[in-house]
Structure 1
Amino acid sequence: MLTQDRTDSEASALTGAVRELARRTHFPVSFGGLVSDGTARIGAIYGSRTRSLDGLSVQVMRGLGGRAMAELRPRATPDYGAARHITHDYDRHILGEGISTLLAVPVIVGGRVRGLLYGGAWASTNVGEVVMKPAFQVADALATELRVRDEVERRLSALDAGPGLTGVPAASPAQHPSLPAAHREELRESYAELRTIASTITDPSVRARLEQVEQRLAVLSGDGDAQHQASTVTLSPRETDVLACAAIGATNAQIAAQLSLREGTVKAYLSSAMSKLDASTRHAAVTKARRSGLLP
């Protein structure tokens, strides 16, 4: 079951995508919904002239959107009212808004439809590639955001379950259990991956939750025989990102690819982190960062 925070977060992402679809395609009306149990429940509407689209729920194989969901590909019609290749279950909503041209684009995550985006126009016109391309890009961007949120939720759920990612119980900061080396490395890899995911997220609530997960991973990977030394060093988010990746053996080129940075930029961040930590090598910087509690 979705948590309320996650539900609100995904609804916010949907609303942003619907507005972006209108901006980039110039459709006068756009709307969309997230899919659950084979039904897309329209939760965001932009530019409508009536309330006809309120309450619209689209099922698989029903209407233009239902065909797009079933076929996992966009569908369009320049004359919705006269279209013969679709069912007309939702005429009251679509024609009630006065829509003639309609485009439906499925949002696909992991091979299944997670959302449905629509662009509509009151005049009849052919939907060409100039309109299709940005619509696909908006749908892909929403799919990426949902995929990232899924991963965040999976990791949160794994930690909340107790044994979590490593097969050992969660611990409080005071406990600092000593973990087998393989378990500790797995947690550090998860930490680095979450830092990479966090760099793509703009939603403050999601970023805050990611920070909580990162802190918990740092606790789980703590060494029972070593106490963190007090440190006045503060690394920037990007310095932490590149150092976390370096900590699991990634090269500068690999870090650059993971974080969508230039290789020279990665070198600059690493150099800055090494300077702050008074370390002559990246490995020494990683060791000092771990002793200072800046990395797991």
Structure 2
Amino acid sequence: MLRDGAVHVSAVAGARTRHLDALVVESGRGLGGRAVLETRPRLALDYRTAKGITHDYDRMVLGEGIATLFAVPVIVSGTPRAVLYCGSWGQAPLAEPAARPAFAIADDVAAELRVRDEVERRLARVHAAPRATALPAAAQEQLREAYAHLRRITAGVQDATLRQRLNELEKRLATMAASASEIDVEAALSPRETDVLACAALGSTNAEIAVALGLKETTVKSYLSSAMAKLDATTRHSAVAKARRAGILP
């Protein structure tokens, strides 16, 4: 990842030695630094004799025994944010089919970073905004739709840190529509029970909820029944109302 203008090697897979651990590559230096500076992939088929790059990091790279090195910058909104290195111990040509997986991984990382940036931006806006005692009906509906959509996104995120940040945002959104005096219900719903109830709050049928969350309709019914029992509610509508008073749902 890039921090303070330098590439900090944060993960190494398949290495034979520890020469690359905690390596920091300055912008414009070495192969990765050139990739960052030029915002394009850089390849050294024979790293030891490669021209056009500085050899500040030969002790680490050659110490690992790397002969061919490929550096792909991860670009987000035109700005390099990380570098993906691919190295081999034997000198070998790198054709497009072999490079394609590296480009795909770099694209995936860029997409993940864009999500992180958006989460951070929204969290900053939410934390900076004053707590409202009441929202107009249209704004409340938009908030509830955004909350349900965010729950669906969170369910598919594997990164634990990002999930935690998303959960922070969800909790903040859930309490934005309620005043402090309204939060008087105690219930511990599971993540999936909350997901299902958030969709039910938008008026979705069990079949529609099943499609939205990738569940079976019978599973949706089971989650709804469990949530209703925990909230001491006899209908889904009363369960939604109690969940809103508890600050579980917006």
Structure 1 length-normalised TM = 0.64
What is the one-letter code of the residue matched to 2:106? Answer: A
Q: For residues 1-296 of structure 1, what are the structure 2 equivalents within 5 Å?
A: 34-54=1-21, 56-161=23-128, 163=129, 169-170=130-131, 177-222=133-178, 227=182, 230=185, 236-245=190-199, 247=201, 256=211, 261=214, 265=215, 267-268=217-218, 270-275=220-225, 277=228, 278-279=234-235, 286=240, 289-290=243-244, 293-296=247-250
1:81 to partner: Cα distance: 1.9
CA, structure 1 residues 73+201, in 2 after alignment: closer, same or farther (shift >3 Å)?
same
CA distance in 1, matches of 2:115, 2:199: 18
CA distance in 1, matches of 2:235, 2:151: 22
After superposition, give the CA deviation of every residue in 1:163-189 in whole Å (9 maximum; x if it has no partner). Answer: 1xxxxx237xxxxx2223344334334
Q: Which runs of 5+ in 1 are unaligned?
A: 1-33, 164-168, 172-176
CA, structure 1 residues 236+108, in 2 after alignment: closer, same or farther (shift >3 Å)?
same
**Larger deviation: 267-276 or 128-137?**
267-276
Contact 2:210/2:220, CA 8 A, preserved across alignment = no
What is the one-letter code of the residue matched to 1:222? Answer: A
1:78 to partner: Cα distance: 2.2
Kindly tell me the number of residue pairs found equivalent between the two proteins: 243
Partner of 2:12, secondary structure, is strand
1:113 to partner: Cα distance: 1.7
What is the one-letter code of the residue matched to 2:45? Answer: P
1:105 to partner: Cα distance: 1.8
After superposition, give the CA deviation of every residue in 1:54-107 in whole Å (9 maximum; x if it has no partner). Answer: 553334443322333244443323211222344434333323333111111222
CA, structure 1 residues 64+285, in 2 after alignment: closer, same or farther (shift >3 Å)?
same
1:230 to partner: Cα distance: 4.7
After superposition, give the CA deviation of every residue in 1:221-272 in whole Å (9 maximum; x if it has no partner). Answer: 1168x9468577x754234325435645789779957x5x3xxx37555544
What is the one-letter code of the residue matched to 1:170? Answer: R
CA, structure 1 residues 244+198, in 2 after alignment: closer, same or farther (shift >3 Å)?
same
What is the one-letter code of the residue matched to 1:295? Answer: L
Contact 2:123/2:169, CA 8 A, preserved across alignment = yes
Partner of 1:66, secondary structure, is helix
CA distance in 2, matches of 1:250, 1:104: 47
- RMSD across aligned positions (CA): 3.7
CA distance in 2, matches of 1:214, 1:269: 23
Contact 1:246/1:255, CA 8 A, preserved across alignment = no
Partner of 1:45, secondary structure, is coil
1:124 to partner: Cα distance: 0.5
Residue equivalent to 2:231:
none
What is the one-letter code of the residue matched to 2:151? Answer: R
Partner of 1:95, secondary structure, is helix
Partner of 2:10, secondary structure, is strand
After superposition, give the CA deviation of every residue in 1:115-161 in whole Å (9 maximum; x if it has no partner). Answer: 11212122111223453233233333333333333333223322332
Contact 2:69/2:86, CA 8 A, preserved across alignment = yes
What is the one-letter code of the residue matched to 1:99? Answer: I
